[in-house]
Chains A and B, each alone.
Chain A
């Protein structure tokens, strides 16, 4: 019951932008969109999150559509070290219960 759908995999060339899509058509007004990634055999790494405005940090940009039913994570200049599984998660802040529900994610392969 991950509430998001992502394609299983995609690839991009090193140095190019990687655009990772996510659908969350049943998102509620108080739910945020989170992105994590997991490099093989490591713990998940937080990337970025947003509610309705686009967000940017040193790692990536998050573009959320106006109806909030989908979003895109953008890695502006992908490197080989960005090869990982990327998880899109929706989550409401609900007091003490702030657990994350991970789906299967999208496997990004960056090729030289």
Chain B
């Protein structure tokens, strides 16, 4: 079975803090993705990566950056957290041209 894990299920941070969300997959997938999910807005793609050290902006990259130093790990970074970044963050991975598998999600609350 494909396994995608995320470092935290719940996270509370303060405005202005730097926040790291980690995602690890164990299936040697090339592609990895970060989405956020908000009520009434569905899932929105923030960034994705199709190889180590490669990254592409998704639909809403503003306020976020990512890092992919190893194939199995894709990190989402909030350089200076703001209250409008309170959300559910979802990581996914896939092989090229194949099905995406999601992690359990991280609920981030920025106070």
Where the two chains meet, the residues of A that have a C-beta atom closer than 8 Å to any C-beta of B are 2, 34, 41-46, 49, 93, 95-105
What range describes how many residues of B lie at the interface? 20 to 34
Where the two chains meet, the residues of B that have a C-beta atom closer than 8 Å to any C-beta of A are 4, 30-31, 33, 40, 42-43, 45, 48, 50-51, 56, 58, 90, 92, 94, 96-105, 107
Question: Which of these, B50, B58, B90, B99, contacts A43 with CB under 8 Å?
Answer: B90
Report whether B42 and A97 are in contact in the complex, using a CB–CB cutoff of 8 Å: no
- Give A99 to B102 CA distance when docked, in angstroms: 12
Q: Chain B contacts of A104 at CB under 8 A?
A: 40, 42
Q: Chain B contacts of A95 at CB under 8 A?
A: 96-97
Report whether A99 and B48 are in contact in the complex, using a CB–CB cutoff of 8 Å: yes
Report whether A96 and B43 are in contact in the complex, using a CB–CB cutoff of 8 Å: no
Q: Whole-angstrom distance from the CB of A102 to the nearest CB of chain B?
A: 4
Report whether A96 and B50 are in contact in the complex, using a CB–CB cutoff of 8 Å: yes
Q: A96-B50, A98-B31, A98-B96 are in contact. List 20 more A-B contacts (CB 8 A).
A: A34-B99, A43-B90, A43-B92, A43-B103, A44-B92, A46-B100, A46-B101, A93-B97, A95-B96, A96-B30, A97-B50, A98-B97, A99-B48, A99-B58, A100-B45, A100-B92, A100-B100, A101-B45, A102-B42, A102-B43
Question: Which of these, A44, A97, A98, A105, contacts B102 with CB under 8 Å?
Answer: A44
- Give A51 to B19 CA distance when docked, in angstroms: 40
- Give A98 to B56 CA distance when docked, in angstroms: 12
Q: Whole-angstrom distance from the CB of A3 to the nearest CB of chain B?
A: 13
- Give A49 to B103 CA distance when docked, in angstroms: 19
Report whether A96 and B90 are in contact in the complex, using a CB–CB cutoff of 8 Å: no
Report whether A43 and B102 are in contact in the complex, using a CB–CB cutoff of 8 Å: yes
Report whether A46 and B50 are in contact in the complex, using a CB–CB cutoff of 8 Å: no
Q: Chain A contacts of B51 at CB under 8 A?
A: 96
- Give A104 to B58 CA distance when docked, in angstroms: 19
- Give A87 to B77 CA distance when docked, in angstroms: 28
* A-B residue pairs in contact (CB < 8 Å), sample of 19: A34-B99, A41-B107, A42-B104, A43-B4, A43-B105, A44-B43, A44-B102, A46-B101, A95-B97, A96-B50, A97-B48, A98-B31, A98-B96, A98-B98, A100-B45, A100-B92, A101-B45, A102-B42, A104-B42
